[in-house]
């Protein structure tokens, strides 16, 4: 049997998701639902803080409510530094992305289920930390699906950003409808449901992602991969996997 006949399929052979690797659909999904929940919750957060108790809100002064929302928004982007550091130094991008998605779900559930300022405080802290970790690493995981020479790379990122925009568009509309008809906690609950769907999809699909050794482009004897030069040719070895 020839070497060519026995070689396993490469990432370039997988075109099941609009010509892109099938693994992209799972990253597309978790990012789309994260943006859905993020912007959906943020769309009703400010009015929840300053609406009166009789209107279903917390009755916080508008200036204070605006400061809380602003501090939350800034902490999301500051958290990307922490998420990137954890991925680069300790756990890897995919693991940080997965755990961050779970943290986001917990944050939205806190907003939906815990009453008053307790729910706001716990929920916003968790959502900010989780969103920072996911935001910092999702694009890195998408990039791991392609070799630098893969001509599908740009189209794959365009499809990924389509998911971001789709979630950001639908989130505020649907959570706003629920908030105005059923109440604030129903809107927060919809954001939690959306992020849960994204997490469940990703938890099944993450098994199909390239191994950590391929994502970090370093040697892993167990998977027989060592990217060398621009050709990124794999070199085999019989040693146990170290990734």
Return the HEC string of 19-70: CECCHHHHHHHHHHHHHHHHHHHHHHHHHHHHCCHHHCCCCCCHHHHHHHHH
- The C-alpha atoms of residue 62 and residue 70 are separated, in whole angstroms, by 12
**What is d(CA 26, CA 57) in angstroms, rounded to the nearest whole number?**
36
Q: Provide the residue-wise pLDDT of the chain in tens; the chain has 243 residues.
A: 444 444 444 555 666 667 678 788 889 999 999 999 999 999 999 999 999 998 999 999 999 999 999 999 999 999 999 999 999 998 999 999 999 999 999 999 999 999 899 999 999 999 999 999 998 899 888 888 888 888 888 888 889 999 999 999 999 999 999 999 999 999 999 999 999 999 999 998 888 787 654 444 444 444 444 443 333 444 444 444 444
- Tokens 């030069």 belong to 229
User: Do residues 202 and 222 lie in contact, with contact meaning Cβ atoms separated by under 8 Å?
Assistant: no
- Structural domain spans, the chain: 21-49+57-210, 212-243
Distance, in Å, from the CA atom of 11 to the CA atom of 26, rounded to the nearest integer, reads 16
CB atoms within 10 A of CB 153: 16
The structure's pTM equals 0.81
Within 10 A of 16 (CB to CB), how many other CB atoms are there? 12
CA distance 55 to 103: 29
* DSSP, res 220: B
User: 20 forms bridges with which residues in the sheet?
Assistant: 17
Residues 167, 32: contact at Cβ < 8 Å? yes
Spatial separation of the C-alpha atoms in residues 134 and 198, rounded to whole Å: 12
The rounded distance, in Å, linking the Cα atoms of 70 and 41 is 14
Predicted pLDDT at 69: 95
Residue carrying the six token digits 């961050």: 100
pLDDT of residue 21: 82
Q: How far apart are CA 131 and CA 44, in angstroms?
A: 18
In 3D, which of 226, 199, 203, 225 has the Cα closest to residue 30? 199
Distance CA 115, CA 75 (A): 22
Percentages helix, strand, coil for the chain, rounded to the nearest 5? 75, 0, 25
Domain 21-49+57-210, CATH: 1.20.1250.20
- Residue 4: its pLDDT value, please? 47
């Amino acid at each position: 049997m020839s070497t060519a006949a026995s070689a396993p399929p490469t990432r370039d052979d997988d075109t099941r998701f609009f010509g892109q690797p099938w693994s992209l659909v799972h990253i597309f999904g978790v990012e789309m639902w994260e943006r859905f929940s993020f912007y959906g919750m943020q769309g009703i957060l400010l009015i929840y803080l300053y609406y009166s108790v009789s209107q279903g809100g917390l009755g916080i002064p508008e200036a204070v409510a605006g400061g809380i929302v602003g501090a939350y928004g800034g902490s999301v982007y500051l958290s990307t530094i922490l998420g990137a550091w954890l991925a680069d130094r300790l756990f890897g991008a995919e693991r940080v992305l997965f755990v961050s998605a779970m943290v986001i779900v917990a944050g939205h559930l806190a907003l939906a289920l815990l009453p008053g300022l307790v729910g706001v405080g716990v929920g916003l802290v968790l959502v900010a930390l989780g969103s920072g970790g996911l935001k910092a690493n999702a694009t890195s995981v998408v990039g791991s699906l392609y070799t630098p020479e893969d001509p599908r790379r740009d189209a794959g990122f365009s499809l990924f950003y389509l998911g971001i925009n789709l979630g950001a568009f639908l989130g505020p509309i649907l959570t706003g409808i629920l908030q105005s008809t059923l109440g604030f906690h129903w809107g927060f609950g919809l954001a939690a449901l959306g992020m849960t769907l994204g997490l469940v999809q990703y938890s099944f699909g993450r098994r199909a992602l390239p191994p950590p050794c391929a994502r970090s482009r370093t040697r892993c004897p167990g998977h027989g991969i060592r990217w060398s030069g621009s050709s990124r040719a794999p070199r085999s070895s019989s040693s146990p996997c170290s990734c």
